[in-house]
Structure 1
Amino acid sequence: MNEKIIKSKQRVQKHGEVFTPSWMVQKMIDTPGIKEATEDIYKTFLEPSAGDGNFLEAILERKLSAVTKNYDKRNWKTKSLFALSSIYGIEFLEDNLEVARSRMFLHYLDWYEDSFGVRLSSKTDIYKSAHYLIKKNVVRGNTLTKRHPDSNELIMFSEWKRVKGHPSLVEEKRFAFAELFGENIDGEERVAEGQLSLFEEFDEDLNIGKIGQVAIQKVFTLGE
């Protein structure tokens, strides 16, 4: 069965929208250096043109496979959320954004069910935290302008930094996408939602604002 790589000629003409087929996604993430990074649950990835989530889902698959391979069930929930927190995306079109987020979340739920034999309840902290991380990390924006396409506010992200000496704690630090390019954002309004390269780690020297520390299984409480 042929994979559909365009939704309509009109969308191609208006937005240049062409989806990367799955076989090409796999070939790209099998590139030496990138392959090893996808199997590291803490390595940060950012897809600057997320589309409907082909790359995001493929990277999540690799990372969750690494979690299952390297950690026991006692640690799976915490480590899987750290893996999820390391994947970021920007998408211009709102309908694609919702599909990409849904694909990631459903993929995570499927992995949980395979690992524990039960469907993850929507009432649990891990369900809420997984949903929260995806919503914060995969956002709507224009990668070229580094701003939201409607409000023109800066695209903002959160870095989910591990707390030294506390393996289950995470510290949220907010920063603007534009800061990755050395741009001065003082006095700018920032879009609350939440690299030149598809795969790039965040710069330790970014001027990012600390919000707080929390167990990653409770990270959703930062949005309450």
Structure 2
Amino acid sequence: MARQVKSKQRVADHGEVFTAEREVEAMCDLVKQETERIDSRFLEPACGDGNFLSVILKRKLTVVTKKYRRSAYDWERNSLLALGSMYGVDIMLDNVLACQERLFEIWNKEYKKVCKKECNDETREAARFILRLNIVCGNALTLMCCDAEGKELNVPIIFSEWTFPFNDARMQRKDYTFAELLAMDEPKPAKKKKNADADFVQGTLFDMGLDEPEQPDDEGKFLQQYIAHYRHIQDDDTRWREAYLHLHLTKEENDNG
């Protein structure tokens, strides 16, 4: 049975207490249908080492394997889509790294079981890349990144949306700041319905709160977009992100100096 407390000091400093497995399973059962939908997105704002995300990922991969076990190509695509739907934030770097590794091991174990000799390191690196971008060290209250000591940086949390918009091997990634996602999710003044029988659509992490159905292109402000073969998403040019981080870190150093 997993420990709920790593140390009394961490509880005192950060209020860190992990949710027990029984409670995690029970809470996930409240949204069972969503936990079994491959592309349904979940964000854990205090993810710890992944108690909730690991349970959800296992459920998603069970569905992927049931549907696509006969094709390594289809299993790889859909398992990466499932992995890309998992998001986590934690202020403790050791938790972030542990969560990334925990989710990868769950994914890789199923990958080896299903694809066997067709497994390849490129897809494994793609899986690790998704987790590095989706599970981040930061403060979900201030929406800013944190350093290894848990100190807040002048760098916003960035999340990536992962999709297969062309129904082939090309995977698309769009990067948004966490603040932009929350701003897009804010309720807007209700407008008079043109059709009294119009259906209500529940929003998700990357839904943009559209007022009118005839405005499907209103996607909010994303920072950058990449499209690549799903086995090579880790090869995308991320120099812009490094420059972005350097800019803010340099500004912070200058402000402090």
**Same fold, TM exceeding 0.5?**
yes
Residues 81 and 217 in structure 1, CA contact (< 8 A), matched pair in contact too: no
Correspondent of 1:141 among 138, 147, 168 = 138
Structure 2: how far apart are the matches of 1:158 and 1:116? 27
- 1: distance between equivalents of 2:168 and 2:22? 36
Tell me, yes or no, if the aligned pair for 1:57 and 1:103 is still in contact at 8 Å. yes
Other structure's SS at 1:13 match: helix
Considering only CA atoms, is the larger Rg found in Structure 1 or Structure 2? Answer: 2
**CA-to-aligned-CA distance 1:29-76 (integer Å, 9 cap, x gap):** 111xx2111111111111111101111111110111010111233211
| Corresponding residue number in structure 1 for 2:81 | 82
Whether contact under 8 Å (1:174, 1:211) holds in the other structure is yes
The equivalent residue for 2:206 is: 202
Higher RCO (CA < 8 A, seq sep 6+): 1
Q: How does 1:1-224 map to 2 (within 5 A)?
A: 2-31=1-30, 34-74=31-71, 75-117=74-116, 120=119, 124-149=121-146, 150=151, 151-164=153-166, 166-182=167-183, 200-204=204-208, 205-222=219-236
SS in 2 for 1:153: strand
| Unaligned stretches of 5+ residues in structure 1 | 184-198
Alpha-carbon distance change, 73 to 119 in structure 1, aligned in 2, over 3 angstroms: closer
- Partners in 2 of 1:18 and 1:180 — Cα distance? 28
Give TM-score scaled by structure 2 length. Answer: 0.74
Shift of 1:202: 1.3
Deviations 1:148-195 (A, max 9, x none): 12323100111113214x333222111100112218xxxxxxxxxxxx
Tell me which amino acid in the other structure corresponds to 1:68.
Answer: T
How far apart are residue 201 of structure 1 and its match? 2.7
| Cα contact 1:174–1:210 (8 A) shared by 2 | yes
> Conserved in 2, the CA contact under 8 Å of 1:168 and 1:216?
yes
TM-score, normalising length from structure 1?
0.84
Percent identity over the alignment? 35
**Could you say which residue in structure 2 is the equivalent of 1:189?**
none
